Chain A
Amino acid sequence: MSSRADRERRHPSDGELLLQSAGDLPKARATTIANHLETCPACTSRLASLKSAVGEFAKARRSALDRDVPPPAPARARLTDSIADASEARTGLVRAVEAGLAAAAAVAFILVATNGLSEGSGDGGRPDRTVEIAAFTPSPDLTPGLTNSSSRSELCAPDADLSTTPVLRSVALQIFRAHGIDDPEPFEYELDHLVPPELGGLTAVGNLWPQPYAGSRWNARAKDALEDRLVRLMCEGQVPLATAQAEIARNWVAAYKKHFGASEPLIEHAAFLKDEPWR
């Protein structure tokens, strides 16, 4: 048996350094390596240079391959056709499904347009960024974010019961209406706890808001990824519970940028799904 100090003195392998920085190591080992890095400039700089080699490769690869990537619109149209065919084969209710998919295609078209704008060429053009972000964080009047008095140890206990009571449909519809959505489409929103239950957030009107999956990259998937990260940081003791609650309630987009060190949602979060969609 080696002591904790021994383990922390030993230099981790390149592979372990990379896993640690990506948050893919088990908690105990991650902590050991984090402690080691604090006192070992050699490993810190080795990790930085490994990461920069991968990062630069990723950038060059993307710019080289993207020249050959055709625009997505024809491929997307082909996909919606195939989905219509597949639905038809399963349900035999051709017309209704096609009508539904036509609506989906219309939504899709708008999305393509906005995606095209926001992806543009690099960082140029997005003059309305603040407007866009404002629309994807809830109004503090309607959703200030409410929490219970659970402590960190209660929330992080392995047997902590974080299940929430389902929200009554009538209450949910009221919340949607308060946010100006009269007829919410199923699967388009998450009825999101602004402060998640894992951080002591209450299932109450002042903590629930309809968060769209579409329309912005600052969507429910990005927020789910942030929740996952904040809960981990809080349970590891790296961020105090009160700070985590305040950060996510005040401006989750700012909190995302801070904790992922990114000015835009990361692509790996594009399909992140923690909570169920509203339906």
Chain B
Amino acid sequence: MWSASRASGASAAAMPLGGISGPRDGQIEAAAIGREVTLLFDALRTPVLRYLMSMGLPVADGEDVVQDTFLALFNHLRRGRPRTNLQGWTFRTAHNLGLKRRRAIHRSWKSSRDRAAAVLAADTRPNPEEQLNGRQEYERACAVLRALPERDRLCLALRAEGLRYRDIAKTLGISLGSVSKSISRAAARLQEARR
């Protein structure tokens, strides 16, 4: 509401409205955007990491992807790119970087097929010592969902992280109708299993 212009980034910071001029613009802007990105990190890091774990990435790789994602967000904002729906942007970027990382892991572990299979069996990292209630329930759910296409599971994981349907569609690059079909299919299966 403050600024008449919806534009952001370098050009906006240099506007007289900001009361800032001269060579310090760049530094002040970088620091301000850095602050904004760390705030978004606080809000979104764990949801994004959980999503990457649902994609089948080991935690350490997920953390790397989270780093790359938020650094990309910083660069995105510094270039003055649109800041509408940064949550959707963050999940979309994490998804794409996550796919890349998953392919790389798959390639490097080709020689050891069992380990690759363990990583790629999305949503289940076997850990028999920790079979506590929540985990048991979750693993039962994952077993039920395993028969579905991966897209259904990813849609459900994104919905579980609170994304809107239209943001899920953008994240996965599919239509709104496909998202709602995927989620209703997954929900119906979970319901059947509960009976």
Whether A279 pairs with B138 at a CB distance below 8 angstroms is no
Select from chain A the residue with minimum beta-carbon distance to B62: A69
| Alpha-carbon distance between A80 and B35 when the two chains are bound, in angstroms | 9
Q: Which of B99-107, B108-116, B153-161 contacts A (4 or more CB under 8 A)?
A: B153-161
Known interface pairs A57-B156, A268-B87. Does A15 touch B71 (Cβ–Cβ under 8 Å)? no
Select from chain B the residue with minimum beta-carbon distance to A112: B42
Q: B30 near A: Cβ within 8 Å?
A: yes
Contacts of B47 in A (CB 8 A): 267
Task: Among A15, A54, A90, A191, point to the contact of B26 (Cβ < 8 A).
Answer: A90
Task: Among A15, A79, A163, A277, point to the contact of B38 (Cβ < 8 A).
Answer: A79
Taking CB atoms and an 8 Å cut-off, the chain B residues in 154-195 that contact chain A are 156-157, 159-166, 176-177, 180-181, 183-184, 186-188, 190-191, 194
Contacts of B188 in A (CB 8 A): 14, 50, 53
Contacts of A49 in B (CB 8 A): 191
Taking CB atoms and an 8 Å cut-off, the chain A residues in 188-241 that contact chain B are 188, 190-193, 197, 203, 213-214
Interface residues on A, range: 35 or more
Q: A91 near B: Cβ within 8 Å?
A: yes
| Alpha-carbon distance between A269 and B17 when the two chains are bound, in angstroms | 28
Q: Which residues of B contact A (CB under 8 A)?
A: 1-4, 6, 8, 12-13, 17-19, 23-24, 26-28, 30-47, 49-50, 53-54, 59, 63, 66-67, 70-71, 74-75, 78, 83-87, 90, 125, 130, 134-135, 137-139, 141, 156-157, 159-166, 176-177, 180-181, 183-184, 186-188, 190-191, 194
Q: Which residues of A contact B (CB under 8 A)?
A: 13-19, 22-24, 49-50, 53-54, 56-70, 72, 75-76, 78-80, 82-84, 86-87, 90-91, 93, 96-97, 100-101, 103-105, 107-108, 111-112, 115, 163-164, 166-167, 169, 172, 185-188, 190-193, 197, 203, 213-214, 266-268, 270-273, 275-279
A sample of 9 more A-B contacts (CB under 8 A), given A14-B187, A60-B134, A70-B59, is A15-B180, A15-B183, A54-B186, A61-B141, A93-B23, A267-B43, A267-B161, A270-B40, A273-B86
A-B contacts, 29 of them at CB < 8 A, read A14-B184, A15-B180, A15-B184, A24-B164, A53-B188, A53-B190, A54-B159, A63-B135, A66-B50, A67-B130, A68-B53, A69-B46, A69-B49, A75-B63, A75-B66, A79-B67, A83-B30, A86-B71, A86-B74, A87-B27, A87-B34, A100-B31, A163-B4, A169-B19, A186-B32, A187-B33, A266-B162, A270-B40, A273-B83
